[in-house]
Structure formats: C-alpha cells, structure tokens
Structure 1
C-alpha cells in the first residue's frame, strides 16, 4: 500500500472518530457541542459537592467583570454562560441523569430533545404548595356543600305540616308580643306603621318560620348545621389530638368493661348498637329519639338480642315484599325470563 493511500485512510478514520465524538453532543440542548463535564473540568463520577467547588473556582477566573477589553469581555461572557449552564445541569440529579443518558445513547436524537424540553417546560411547583392548595379547595367545596345540605333540610322541614304549623304558632305569638311592646297611646293601640304589601308580609312570615325552625329544630346526622371542626383543614390540624383521644377512649373501654367488668352506660350501649347496625355516626344521630330509646328498651347492645331482632326485621321485610304487587310482578318476570342480559341479537 502506498504512502498516499495510508495517509488518506488515516485522515478518513480521524474524521469518522471526530464525527462519532460529536454525534453524542447535540446543538441547542444542554451544553451544545461542548461536554458539560469538560467545561467544569470534572469526571462523570464527580459528586455534587465537587461540581459546586469546580464551578466556584472557575467562575472566579472567567467572570466578565475581570476583563477590561471588550473582545475579551464578550468571550468571557460566552464562557461564563456555558459554565453556568453546565453547573445547572450537573448539580440537578434528574437533569444530570438525562444528560448521562444522552452521552450513553447518542443515536436517540428525538428522545434527547424530548427529555430536555420536557424538563425545561414543565412547571416547577413545590409539592407542598400543591398539597396546600388542594386541601384548601377541598375544604371550601366541603364547606359550601355542608351549608347547601343544611339549607335543603331547613327548606324541607318548612314544608312539613307538623313543623310548619308549630312554627306559625310561635311566630304569631312573637308578633303579638312585639305589637304589645310597641303599643302607644292611652287606648293601648299600636303605633301606626308604613303599609306593606302582601308579598312583603309573606316574605316576612317565611323568614320568621325559617328562623324559628333553625332555632328550635335540632337537626342531626349528615344534614346537621355545619361546624368549623367538620372541615378537612381543621380535621388535619387536630388529627394528633383526635388520635390521642381515640387511644385514651379505647384504653379506657378495655380497662372499664373488659378488665373491671363494669356495666355499660347509655352512651356505651348506643355505641354498641350503632356498631352492630354498621351505621356511621351521622346516620345514627339522624334517627329519632324514640327509635334509639326503643333500641335501649329491647337491649340490642347484647349481641344475641340484636341478632334475634335483625332476623325478625328481615322476616317482616320478606312478608311485606310478598304482599307487594310490584314485588310479585318482579318475581313473576324473573321466573319467566330470568335475569336481564344483553346479546348481539338484541
């Protein structure tokens, strides 16, 4: 082989090696055609502390303010920006991981651009801020939802004749007392007041009825009047107190009723009945007072009595369903056609 052929072959190999070296460094992302590790004069095994130390050492040497000449100053600005870019990439664990992936997989061009711009364009929001905003929004929605349910309960009781008539009687008595207190003159006649329309009188009456029902009606359960302690934010704040209170209650229960064998009080009996019925606190509080008293009279806190009562309730329900015309029609349909199903022929 001639010397010219050897020279051409060597030149070709050198060009291919240079292209291979630059193939893993893409223009426009990370440090461009420069290697971020070479910019900071560190190796890939360098720690974050080493990255910080090298950046500070080089920044003192390449800072643009150290140069007077305009040409040197512009060159220093370019080098300083590259140095800052390399530092920002290598000090961040996720960005450094993506950069190392690009160095190890130079052929995945589109993947590198996607990883780079996905990280740059993604909003950098503190997780604590997200949690704070989320809990706040949930608490606001919860607050308005509770008030809406309470308002619907009040409106319902205003339509129930039993409560409405009682509230009207109380409102009429209050109105008579107000007129008596405002009466003037020797004859005890009420002072004259501006005439009001029927619509205004009706609106005033409805307002009085609602106010009386809100004051006199003790609504319990899920439709009870909202309290600040029901909100999620407050519940999270008092969570340690709630846990301590539950642990104390549970330990006290074991000590009093398991170890000392003390008799149950009404509160403990109602708790056992609610647990056997598998009802939530709001659901159980929504029961009428006479219902809870009936449960106490039947001694349903005793498991055997509760099981017997539950079996009786199920038998009564079956008997009512057997007498129901709608349920008979349903059973007849199920007997003739079976459970509903969908096929391709349908």
Structure 2
C-alpha cells in the first residue's frame, strides 16, 4: 500500500518540531542562573571563601553562574544594586543598616560577622592595650571611618574620659601613613584585612586593642540584596547563599586552598602569607549560632546597631528590626 508523499513530509515536520521542542526545553532546564555579586571595596582576603566556592564548583553544582567584581565604596555598590545591575552586594552590615533606616529598599540576607574585627593599633613605645590607655593619646580619624566613628560609644562602655582622647581628622587614605610616620599615636584597622599587610610591610607587631572584645560590636561582613530581587529571585539567592556557606566550610578546612583561589584573581596582590593571614582572621570573625545556619541574623544585633548609629548620626525613630533583614533565604 502506498502513502501519499505529503503524509511522509508532514510526519517528518512533526518529528522535527518535537525534537526541537525537547532540545529547547532541555537547554532551558540546564541554563545556569546568573548571579552578579559586587564587593563594596577592592579585593582582600575577606572574600577568599567566595572564590574557593567558585574554584570547587559549589556555584556550578547549584546551577549558578556567579560573576564577582570589585567595588568603590558601599554607596556606589548599593546604587548599582538598586539599578538592577547587581544581585548581591558584599559589604559591612552597619552601612546597610544606615541605608535601610534612611529608606533604601534593601535587606541583609546573610550576616557573617555580627562583630566587625576592628582593632586599634598603637605605637610600640606608647602601647594601648586596654581602653583606659586611650586617655592622653592622639587617634587618627576620617569621616565615615568605622573604627573611630563610634569612639564616644566605646568611651561610654569602658568608662573612658573621651575629652582626654584627641581625634585628629584627616583624609581616609592618610590615616595609616600618618600613624606609621608617628604623627598620631593610634589608628583603627581591620584585623582581617589591613593589619596583616601593615605588619608585613613594617616587619613589626603593633600593640593592639580589640574593639569588639571591649564592648563595641559593629556588624560587619554581610550579603545584601534589594527587596525587588528578593521577591523576584528567592530560589536563586537561596542557592547562592548555600554555596557561599559551603565555601566558608571549605575555607575553614583548608585556608591555603582559599588563599590560592583568591590569589589567582588578585593580580598585584600581597604575598600568599599575607593573604592567608587575612583569610584565617576572617574565618575567626565569622560567628555561628547553635542550631542556626551560617549567616543567620539576630534581631538584637540590628537593634544594637541602630543604637550605635544614634551616637554618630541623626537617624530619627528607628524602624522595626525585621525591616532590616531576612533569614528566609538561608537553608536550615
């Protein structure tokens, strides 16, 4: 029995169309979701776990294509976030809290450092080893600089007479050079970023006063997203944060691997020893709460941050704590 040629042609077209549809569905199902991540500053050891997560394929395993880029300050990074150019900004949480209080539609989606590892370093011949030692000293200060912006709160907590502490205002980039030239007695630095570089350069261990250990808890390393992106891509953000936590666990286990992963991206960066010191100090500052995933935000941390902000800027009536963060994107 012979069938019309048109019947065979029609069947062939249907089979071809069906095959194209299947291939199209398959490609769509396996296309990785893009996640654009912007740092609030230049590369530093604080970001090593994010690069280790990429090196070990943690993002890819969760069907993510993550692009990471340096920043030029929190305001610029948050501006790009609101414009939809970025999905996540990695930044100090205290700046996010301030921005949200002022009305910016963003949220902290993970808080890794409830206490920023900021220390005051001093001249070896004029050591500041306890809060009371600050009296009679000159301290480098720049507008918006985290470590000394809340010095009055630090004085109050530690019963220091702040009138006996002289803050010398200068450009942010001048603080450390002025300290190294002995123009001031004290300067604040990040223990996990600046301190390893300074000590390696000067081949000196400077006397150190840890602010967090002495009552000044400033929320630090955090992941921030916009309310619009949280509503639009919650599953993508969940997978991203889960991969980041795998990167943190892997970095704790093998800091040298994290150092190597970051060094590959950090052209012109410091020595491997310095980067590793930054990585280890960063991991030491990432706190975990029993029974909670890494990155969990406690409402009390936000309340304390708002009280701290009051000492440095006019913030009006503080908003409810739950406006500032969400834990819903962290896997239990």
Sort the TM-score into its range (normalised by shorter chain): under 0.3
Q: Which has the higher contact order (CA 8 A, sep 6+)?
A: 2
- Higher strand proportion (structure 1 or 2): 2
Higher-Rg member (1/2)? 1
User: Normalised by the size of structure 2, how large is the TM-score?
Assistant: 0.22
